[in-house]
Amino acid sequence: MAHEEYGCPCCQASLGNLFAYNPADQLAAEISILPLGRSQVRSGGAAVARTAAATACGTVLIPALPPVPDVEARTRIYFGGTVMTVDSDFAKPEAMAVKGDRILATGSLAEVKAVAGDSADLIDLQRRTIMPGLIDPHTHILIGALMDQAMHYVGITRFSTTADILDFIGQLDATLPPGEWIVCRNYYPMLQPFETPMGFAPLDAISGTRPILVLNASGHIGYANRAAFAAAGIPDDIVSPAGGEFVRDGDGQLTGEMRNQITFSKVLGARPSGAGSAPTDAVLKTCRRFASLGLTTVSELGLGGLLRGVGDWEILKQAGATGQLSQRIRAYPMYVFDEAWDAAGLAPGDGDDLVRIAGYKLIADGSNQGFTGLQREPYYTVDSIGIAYMTPDDLTTLMRKRAGQGWQIAVHGNGDKAIDNILDAIDRVASEGIDVRSLRMRIEHCSILHDEQIERMRSHGVSASFL
């Protein structure tokens, strides 16, 4: 299969130099977590939380409890709060006993004491709630850690309109040293109304000399000013690469909008490096935030996207080796580094109970809200059916190779045509004798589905990951 390097976050030169502390992006205070033993976190430990209607979303806060001595060896009994077992009856017993990484018993305090023995430590929950840890099957830990430190958050929980965002960027321009880049993330134009589309027009009005880049919340679109294009060496006659677009207006002039990471990463990669936390420290910090929300297992669905290959895997292993990682991580190497993974001998199941290789990631299209998801029919407001990130033949070739090696395959697919392409590839691979059902393949996002596609997924045991 031909492999083309696009210069996207998956293919471009290292993005690790973007780790820089961003004091303007402090959105939440640190929340301490229950000091559970590492083996308990690895093998299904519970998350202790006080549920609070702090927001309409029902935020779960995890306050600190007294330290537990010899947490890996001793038996503990939790009582004095709510124990959510999440069993078929959604029972809420009075107490729960845990030894090492196993739950011994649930029931009344007397019943649990009888099982746990007189030497068990008693942990008063003080009206808190103890519940199973949550699993997030689709996150981007490494890139997320980078964004937290190197980019300013301008999403819908902070700004209601595009005008508010532009005012904020203007304030940054007035206070930052000359030449320092402004990079923002999580812009959502569908929910943050605008008068002038984001791009050259509004951003050049803020600064004609300071590079400014704004990333869409979808992660598939970027907007920049002319100074950023100049810093990246993007000429007016730039030709859009296959699978991406430097958007032009009706007169054929660049607008500053860039579709697909293939394009805007050329700008992002031109940003100078800055001082900040090491990648491993940034991962640990991000995982502490995950833990504060009750997550005990998270998945890295873009392994390789930060340091162009196996360096990402080393970062995750280093994080695990610190003894400070607060949840299990399941990683999915990105297809664009296929040769690098082969050279490193990476295989499904590599790692340990805490940090492990779980599957392989393919990408069939972009995002629907960014009009780059691949559709059967054109979008209502854009004369386009979206973008195919991988051709049907490429999908089939890589799926055949990796499924034949026993990998679980997770394929990003938003639009219905992209899902057609994914299912066609699965059909071909299955017809060649590969037991795809046993691999539990996944379609990530799986946003626009038709009944016949659901039946095709069912026939192969393909899961839909609506995230």
Q: Is the residue at 274 inside a domain?
A: no
Task: Look at residues 268, 303, 322 and tell me which one is the last residue of a structural domain.
Answer: 268
Q: What is the CATH number of the domain that holds 298?
A: 3.20.20.140
pLDDT of residue 72: 57
Instruction: Answer yes or no: is pLDDT of 10 > 60.
Output: no
Q: Using CA atoms, how far apart are residues 368 and 286, in angstroms rounded to an integer?
A: 27
Domain limits for position 297: 289-465
> 175 and 203 share a domain?
yes
> 232 and 381 share a domain?
no
Q: Using CA atoms, how far apart are residues 85 and 344, in angstroms rounded to an integer?
A: 42
pLDDT of residue 273: 67
Q: How many helices (H) and strands (E) does the chain have?
A: 14, 22
Counted domains in the chain: 3
- 3-class DSSP assignment, residue 388: strand
Q: Using CA atoms, how far apart are residues 464 and 447, in angstroms rounded to an integer?
A: 9
Q: Is the residue at 10 inside a domain?
A: no
Render pLDDT for 246-293 as a digit per residue (tens, 0 to 9): 999 999 999 999 998 778 888 988 888 654 558 899 999 999 999 999
> 128 and 151 share a domain?
no
Task: Look at residues 102, 134, 166 and tell me which one is the last residue of a structural domain.
Answer: 134
Q: Which phi and psi (to 5°) does residue 70 adopt?
A: 45, 55
> 82 and 209 share a domain?
no
Instruction: Answer yes or no: is pLDDT of 31 > 60.
Output: no
> 389 and 452 share a domain?
yes
Mean pLDDT of the chain: 85
Query: Could you give the percent of the chain with pLDDT greater than 70?
Result: 83
**pLDDT confidence of 165, banded at 50, 70, 90?**
very high
Q: Is the residue at 361 inside a domain?
A: yes
> 221 and 360 share a domain?
no
| Global pTM value | 0.75
Structural contact between residues 273 and 284, judged by C-beta atoms closer than 8 angstroms: no
Residue with tokens 């929340």: 31
How far are the Cα atoms of 53, 154, 375, 377, 378 from residue 382, in angstroms, in the given order? 40, 25, 12, 11, 7
Q: Is the residue at 148 inside a domain?
A: yes
> 58 and 204 share a domain?
no
> 311 and 259 share a domain?
no
Q: What is the CATH number of the domain that holds 251?
A: 3.10.310.70
Q: Using CA atoms, how far apart are residues 11 and 62, in angstroms rounded to an integer?
A: 38
pLDDT of residue 34: 35
> 204 and 319 share a domain?
no
> 248 and 372 share a domain?
no
**pLDDT confidence of 157, banded at 50, 70, 90?**
very high
Instruction: Answer yes or no: is pLDDT of 43 > 50.
Output: no
**pLDDT confidence of 340, banded at 50, 70, 90?**
very high
> 342 and 429 share a domain?
yes
E strand or H helix at 430, and its extent? Answer: helix 416-431
Least confident of 69-73, 116-120, 260-264, 342-346: 69-73
Instruction: Answer yes or no: is pLDDT of 17 > 60.
Output: no
pLDDT of residue 59: 28
> 301 and 228 share a domain?
no
E strand or H helix at 401, and its extent? Answer: helix 392-404
Instruction: Answer yes or no: is pLDDT of 169 > 90.
Output: yes
Mean pLDDT of 80-88: 92
Which residues are registered as beta bridge partners of 216?
187
Q: Is the residue at 9 inside a domain?
A: no
Task: Look at residues 209, 236, 268 and tell me which one is the last residue of a structural domain.
Answer: 268
Structural contact between residues 24 and 172, judged by C-beta atoms closer than 8 angstroms: yes
Q: Using CA atoms, how far apart are residues 203 and 212, in angstroms rounded to an integer?
A: 7
